[in-house]
Structure 1
Amino acid sequence: MNPDVATDIKDLSATLASVEAVMDLDGLRAQIADLEEQAARPDLWDDPDAAQKVTSQLSHRQSELRKVEELRSRLDDLPVLYELAEEDEGDPAAAADADAEREKLRTDISSLEVRTLLSGEYDERDALVTIRSEAGGVDAADFAEMLMRMYLRWAERHGYPVDVFDTSYAEEAGIKSTTFRVTAPYAYGTLSVEQGTHRLVRISPFDNQGRRQTSFAAVEITPNLAQTDHVEIEDKDLRVDVYRASGPGGQGVNTTDSAVRLTHIPTGIVVSCQNERSQLQNKASAMVVLQSKLLERRRQEDQAKMDALKDSSSGSWGNQMRSYVLHPYQMVKDLRTEYEVGNPGAVLDGDIDGFLEAGIRWRRTQ
C-alpha cells in the first residue's frame, strides 16, 4: 500500500477513535439496553407521552451506535480494498473505488466528529425554526420563502420530518413569516448556528427596471419543548386572539375562526398557528411554540449572565451572518466562518451541511 495512503488511513482511524471515546460507546450500549427493557414493558403505552419519549430515545441511541459502528467497519475494510486493487493492477477502477471510499469515509467521520461538538443543554432537542422577512419589501418576502424552502429541502434530504405550524403569506409574493419544527437527533444544536440575519443580493424579478436589490430575512432557532421543561404562563399574562386562516394572496382557506394568535404580554412575544382544523388544536400547538420561545429566552438570559461573569466579549455573533449573492457574481458566504460556496442554487436547494459544520466548529472556538 502507498505509504501516504497508509498514513491517511491511520489518521482517519485516530480521529474516529477520539469520536468513539467522546461518544462513550459502552455507556451508549448500556443506555440502549435500559431503554429496550423499558420499551418491552407490557404497560408501556398506558402513558402514551412517556412511551413516545422512550421509543424516540431508543431509536435515536440505536441510530447513533449503528452509525459509528458502520464507520469503524468500513474503515477496517479499507486496507483490504487497496490490497485487492494492488493485486488486480490491470483494473484501475478498483484503485479509484478505494480512493472514493476513503474520501467518503473522511467526509462521514468529519460529520460525526462535528456531532460530538454539540454538548449544549438543549442541543439534542428538535428545533423550532422561525423565518421573518425584514428590509427589502417584496424581495425580502420572496427571500424569506426561499429560505423556508432551503431548510425544508435540507430536512427532506436527510429524511427528517417537518411540521409547519404557521405561515403568513405576503400580498404580492413570498411570506411575511413562518414557523416549523424539524424532528431529528440534535436538530436544535445543528441548526442553531443558522440564527441571525441572512442577506440576498440579486437583480430583482419584481423591479420593472431590472435593478439590483438587497433584501434581508431573519432566522430564529429555538429548542423544542420537552416534558421535563417547566415554563409557567399565567392566564393574566396571555392574550388569545382567534381569526380565519388564510393562504397565499390573503385568500381564506377556512370558513371558521380556527386560527389562533397568542401574545405573551410581559415579553411581547407573539406566536400563531393555523395548520390544524380546530381552534383547540391550534391553541395547543401555539402554546408549545410560545413555551419554546420563552425557554430559549430564559436560556439566553442565563447565557448573558454567564458571559458577564466570565467578562466574555465573544458572546455576540453580530447581526448579519450570511450573504447570498446572485448578481453580479454567484457566491454564498458565511461572514463569521468565512466558509463560502460558488453555487447558490445548490445551497438554496438545501445543500447547507458545509455551512452547518463550519458554524458548529467556529462556535466551539468562540
Structure 2
Amino acid sequence: MHPDVSADLADLDTTLKTVEAVVDVEELQTRIRELEDQAASPDLWDNQEHAQHVTSQLAYAQGEMRRLTALRQRLDDLPIMYELAEAEEGDAASDALAEADAERIALREDIELLEVRTLLSGEYDQREALVNIRSGAGGIDAADWAEMLMRMYVRWAEKHDYKVEVYDISYAEEAGIKSATFAVKAPYMYGTLSVEQGTHRLVRISPFDNQGRRQTSFAEVEVLPVVETTDHIEIPDTELRVDVFRSSGPGGQSVNTTDSAVRLTHLPTGIVVSCQNEKSQLQNKAAALRVLQAKLLARKKQEERAELDALKSDSGSSWGNQMRSYVLHPYQMVKDLRTELEVNNPSTVLDGNIDRFIESGIRWRMRDTSGE
C-alpha cells in the first residue's frame, strides 16, 4: 500500500475514533436499550406526547448507531480493498485501485459530515427545529421557489429518516406557497439547520412567463429551536407561603366558622392565589395550587416566547441577507455566499442533498464565533 494511502487511512481512523469518543458509543448503546424497553411498554401510548418523544428519540439513536457502525465497517474494509487491488494485474488492477480510491474519498466526506455533529454544543443545538419559509420578492415565481425550498428540506429529512411535522401551509393563488411552518423532529436539528437561515435566491427561466424570460426570486428561511414545555409545573414547598383564613360572603360576612380558605403566595414571582369555594382547607389548597400552576405555566410560555424573539433578533444578521444562490440559467450552480462552497448540480441539491452546505455552514459558524 502506498505510504500516502496508509497515512490517510490512519488519519481517517483517528478522526472516526474522536467522533466515537464524543458520541460515546457505549452510552449510546445503553440509551438505545433503555428506549427500547420504554417503547415495549404496553401502556406507552396512554400518553401520546411521551410516546412520540420516546419513539423519536429511539429512531434517532438507532440511526446514529447504524451510521457509526457502517463507517467503522467501511474503514476496516478499505485496507482489504487495496490489498485486493495490488493482487490484480493490468486493467483489473487499475480499476480496483480506482474503486478503492473513490471509496476512500467518499468515506472521508461521510466521516467529516458526522464529525460536524460534535461541533454542535450551543445552548439550543440539541433541540428539534422549527422551520419557517416565506416567499419574498418575485411574485408567482417566488411562491413557487418557496415551495421548492420546502420540498428540499423535507427530502433532506426523509433521506436521514428524520420525522417532519407540518404545522401550517399558506398556498399562493396561482402556484406555490406564501409561507410554511414545519418541525424536523430529531435531536440536534436546530443546531444542524440553523445555518440554513437567511435569504435563498433563485435565478432561472420562469416557467410562468410565456416569453421565457429569466426571473430572479427570493425566499426567506427562518429556523428556531422547538420550545420544550410541560403541562405541569412543580412548585417546591420552600417557594410557597400558605395563609389560611375564614371564608367570607357578601358584605364581608363570615360564611364559615373555620379557617378553611387558603391563600397561596409564590415567593419567587409574588403571584398570589386564593381559594375559598371548597368545603375543606385541603380542597381549597389543592384548587389554589392548580390555579397557581396554570398561572406559572402561562408565565413560562410568555418568557419562552420572549426568549425565542430574542433568538430571532440575535440571528437577524443572516435574516434578510442573501446566504445562498441557486442558478439554473444561464449556467448551473449553487453557491453559498458565506463559505464560498459551490456545487454545479442544482437538481441534486434541490432534491435534498444539502449535507455539504450544512457541514460547511456549521464549520463557518464555528470559525466566525471563535474569531478565527
Deviation sequence 1:197-248 (CA, Å, 0-9, x none): 11122333334444433221111122234355999xxxxxxxxxxxxxxxxx
Partner of 2:310: 301
Partner of 1:114: 116
Q: Which moved more, 1:168-177 or 1:27-36?
A: 27-36
| Matching residue within 128, 131, 151 for 1:129 | 131
2:326 counterpart of 1:317: no
Partner of 1:62: 62
Residue 123 of structure 2 aligns with an amino acid whose one-letter code is E
Partner of 2:15: 15
Q: Distance in 1 between matches of 2:5 and 2:30?
A: 36
Superposed, which structure 2 residues align to 1:11-90 within 5 Å? 11-39=11-39, 44-89=44-89
Identity value in percent: 66
Structure-2-length-normalised TM-score: 0.70
Q: Distance in 2 between matches of 1:317 and 1:179?
A: 19
Q: Distance in 1 between matches of 2:305 and 2:115?
A: 26
Please state how far the C-alpha of 1:365 moved relative to its aligned partner.
1.2
2:215 counterpart of 1:213: yes
Partner of 1:150: 152
Unaligned runs of 5+ in 2: 234-299
SS at match of 1:327: coil
Does the CA contact (< 8 Å) of 2:39 and 2:54 recur in 1?
yes
Unaligned runs of 5+ in 1: 232-290, 308-313
Q: Distance in 1 between matches of 2:10 and 2:65?
A: 22
Structure-1-length-normalised TM-score: 0.71
Partner of 1:252: none
Partner of 1:4: 4
Superposed, which structure 2 residues align to 1:167-246 within 5 Å? 167-228=169-230
Q: Distance in 2 between matches of 1:346 and 1:143?
A: 16
Residue 298 of structure 1 aligns with an amino acid whose one-letter code is E
Please state how far the C-alpha of 1:82 moved relative to its aligned partner.
1.5
Paired residues, number: 299
Residue 81 of structure 1 aligns with an amino acid whose one-letter code is M
Q: Distance in 2 between matches of 1:136 and 1:303?
A: 24
Does the CA contact (< 8 Å) of 1:128 and 1:223 recur in 2?
yes
Q: Distance in 1 between matches of 2:153 and 2:11?
A: 33
Deviation sequence 1:128-167 (CA, Å, 0-9, x none): 2221111122221122122122222323333333333222
Please state how far the C-alpha of 1:85 moved relative to its aligned partner.
2.2
SS at match of 2:134: strand
Deviation sequence 1:332-355 (CA, Å, 0-9, x none): 211111111122222222222221
Q: 1:230 to 1:357 in 2, by over 3 A?
A: farther
Partner of 1:240: none
Q: Which moved more, 1:291-300 or 1:181-190?
A: 291-300
SS at match of 1:159: coil
Q: Distance in 2 between matches of 1:329 and 1:297?
A: 44
Does the CA contact (< 8 Å) of 2:224 and 2:308 recur in 1?
no
Deviation sequence 1:176-201 (CA, Å, 0-9, x none): 11122233343322222111111122
Does the CA contact (< 8 Å) of 2:224 and 2:312 recur in 1?
no
Q: Distance in 2 between matches of 1:52 and 1:149?
A: 24
Q: 1:158 to 1:29 in 2, by over 3 A?
A: closer
Does the CA contact (< 8 Å) of 1:143 and 1:216 recur in 2?
yes
Q: 1:51 to 1:148 in 2, by over 3 A?
A: closer
Please state how far the C-alpha of 1:293 moved relative to its aligned partner.
11
Q: 1:315 to 1:230 in 2, by over 3 A?
A: farther
Q: Distance in 2 between matches of 1:341 and 1:292?
A: 42
